[in-house]
Amino acid sequence: MTDDPIADYAFLADCRSGALVSRAGSVDWWCPDRFDASSVFGRLLDPDAGHWLITAVAYGTPTTGAEADAEVQVDRAYLPGTLVLRTEHRTGTGRVEVTEALAVEPGARGHRIGLRSPAVLLRVVRGLSGTVRMRVEFAPRPEYGLVTPYLHEEPGRLVAAGGSATVTLRGDVPLTPLGDGTAAAEFTVSAGQVVGFDCAYARGHGPTGPAELDRVDAVDNAVAAWRSFEEIHRYQGRYPELVQHSALVLQGLTYQRSGAVVAALTTSLPEQLGGTRNYDYRFAWLRDFSYTLHALWVGACPDETDRLFGWAARSTGRVGEGPVPIMYGVEGERVLGEQRLEHLRGYRGSRPVRIGNDAWRQHQLDVLGEMLLAVHRLRHELGELDDELRLMLCGIADKAAETWREPDAGMWEVRGEVRHYVSSKVLCWAALDRAVLLAPMLGEPADAGRWAAARDEIRATVLDRCWHPAVAAYTGILDSAELDASVLLMPLVGFLPATDPRMRATIEAVHDRLGDNGLVRRWSGDPAGFLLCSFWLVECLVLAGEWDRATELFERTAARANDVGLFAEQVDPATGALLGNLPQALSHIGLINAAWRLTAPDDPDPDPDAHQD
């Protein structure tokens, strides 16, 4: 548990997993084996769950002289075009910079980053002026803090062995074990001096990590690796710096071995401080699939979209009798059973802490639309479909035609009673609409006539039972007065034009009744603004011809990112504090797609090469 705000964390990545480092210089989250593996540093969720601190300390507490009011001042930023972090610490006696990265394979560039990531965290301290005293604390706690390892001093390194992990710290300054599974040191850095450290993870009963490496060279290699994406990612739209940075964050959330994009790096960061909606987002959702694919298409290049689509098609496989799964592990795993870690106190006391996510059991009809929307968007790239893919897509369309009348858990994954969510009906409509358009590619299994009839029945049902005269808007549940921001999807998937009078009234109702200080809540009573919904509203305003309002809202929402350009899932409208898991892929996806809508408002399904050189 930490007192640091969620916004105080920066993201390091190696396309295998990621780490969070605070402004104070503490690595408080790292699950090195892969995104959803157990942590070795987990202080984000409990003070005793492990951390690795490197920070400047002010000299003493003098009562006179220039140092009397000295405190450590911190400025930080990613090196341009990278997820390599540079933090400058200033004290009354000097300045130092700490450059931090997760190592990537030597020479790996572009889409090869992460295929064989060594699971090494690099931290290089360089003196800039004067003299600065630094402090290091090393407290690995594998298995989400359940294991306090023995620390073994060996020549040139400190080995923490315990449970299923071995963590090896090597550095230019030796640390002293304190007898409780923690080691520490203080050292002085002068201008021009370089002091480096690396922390290597290995599974408990294998080798203890890669051979000794040159830390400065390894950081330089990471910089070159991330910048290599600039050669293949050539976004040609508005807000290029914002889009390119968000695309880089999505790249960092990609498990490169499979192409899956995880929803977030973390688990159990709360939607509301002290609340219980604390879930594990370290998995990949089909619910997000078409949004993710579109964002990668716009902000990156077709290679990412092809790999993501291949992962989703392989993970989904044959469509059987039961519901299509809504989410998977990064290698396509389906069983993602949820557990509560009762020994962890949670971020600022927000319990329970969960690993795994029981949403994998839910029935969510919207995923059917996500798959077929994605295929329609990729139709020019896919070429002739093989028999297995055609059968899968026809099975998804058949499933939409057969099941759209059923209640489900909805896209917000409400736990408890299933209901007739309008967003689920609209996405079933989208599945059938795109299936009809794709029928010539789908061949003999396609039943375009039956799909078209079901599509038209869904449309008539939604238009009849979703509009609520007293609310003067389309609502989130059939025959209900409950307004829900998910109805903003209706114009985004082509169900209704944003200029339709009732749709236009709905857009205003969402803005007026769910909007709060420029943020959009998912429903009335939602404790915070949901960033994706704010970006959806931007897109709807563009489609409605409200260009100036859309631009103002986009820029206001984009400014909600923290100082290194990261979004969490939600924002407290009263305080501006980030809430929920970090970094949140959907928030960055929303920014990319909204920026493209502002670039090409009349291009609802853009050609994949339209924004490339």
pLDDT of 610 reads 35
Residue where the block lists tokens 């964002």: 295
Distance separating alpha carbons of residues 11 and 29, to the nearest angstrom: 10
What are the residues facing 102 on neighbouring strands?
121
Query: Could you report the per-residue pLDDT of 542-567, keeping only the tens digit for each?
Result: 999 999 999 999 999 999 999 999 99
120 close to 170: Cβ distance less than 8 angstroms: no
Distance of CA 489 to the CA centre of its chain: 21
The helix or strand, by DSSP H or E, that contains position 27, with its residue range, turns out to be strand 26-30
Mean pLDDT, the chain, whole residue set: 91
Closest to 258 measured CA to CA, from 202, 333, 367? 333
Query: Could you report the per-residue pLDDT of 334-368, keeping only the tens digit for each?
Result: 999 999 999 999 999 999 999 999 999 999 999 99
At residue 436, the 3 state secondary structure works out as helix
| Sequential DSSP letters for 494-526 | TSS-TTSHHHHHHHHHIIIIIEETTEE-SBTT-
Distance separating alpha carbons of residues 420 and 479, to the nearest angstrom: 9
Q: For the beta carbon of residue 561, count every other beta carbon within 10 angstroms.
A: 23
Query: Could you report the per-residue pLDDT of 482-520, keeping only the tens digit for each?
Result: 999 999 999 999 999 999 999 999 999 999 999 999 999
pLDDT of 114 reads 79
Band of pLDDT at residue 140, cut at 50, 70 and 90: very high
29 close to 42: Cβ distance less than 8 angstroms: yes
Query: Could you report the per-residue pLDDT of 169-180, keeping only the tens digit for each?
Result: 999 999 999 989
215 close to 197: Cβ distance less than 8 angstroms: yes
pLDDT above 60 (res 285): yes
Mean pLDDT, rounded, for 358-380: 90
Distance separating alpha carbons of residues 368 and 395, to the nearest angstrom: 10
What are the residues facing 9 on neighbouring strands?
22
289 close to 312: Cβ distance less than 8 angstroms: yes
Query: Could you report the per-residue pLDDT of 235-264, keeping only the tens digit for each?
Result: 889 999 999 999 999 999 999 999 899 999
Burial group, residue 337, by CB count within 10 angstroms (0-12, 13-18, 19+): exposed
pLDDT above 90 (res 405): yes
**Interior angle at CA 195, CA 189 and CA 196, nearest 5:** 155
Q: What are the tokens at 232?
A: 């293949």
49 close to 141: Cβ distance less than 8 angstroms: yes
Band of pLDDT at residue 313, cut at 50, 70 and 90: confident
pLDDT of 434 reads 97
112 compared with 180, residue with greater pLDDT: 180
pLDDT above 60 (res 78): yes
Mean pLDDT, rounded, for 61-76: 60
Q: What are the tokens at 219?
A: 């950081």
Q: Identify the structural domains of the chain with CATH numbers, from first to last.
A: 6-230 (2.70.98.10), 232-599 (1.50.10.10)
pLDDT of 300 reads 59
Q: What are the tokens at 474?
A: 């389309």
pLDDT above 50 (res 66): no
Q: What is the CA radius of gyration of the chain?
A: 25
pLDDT above 50 (res 613): no
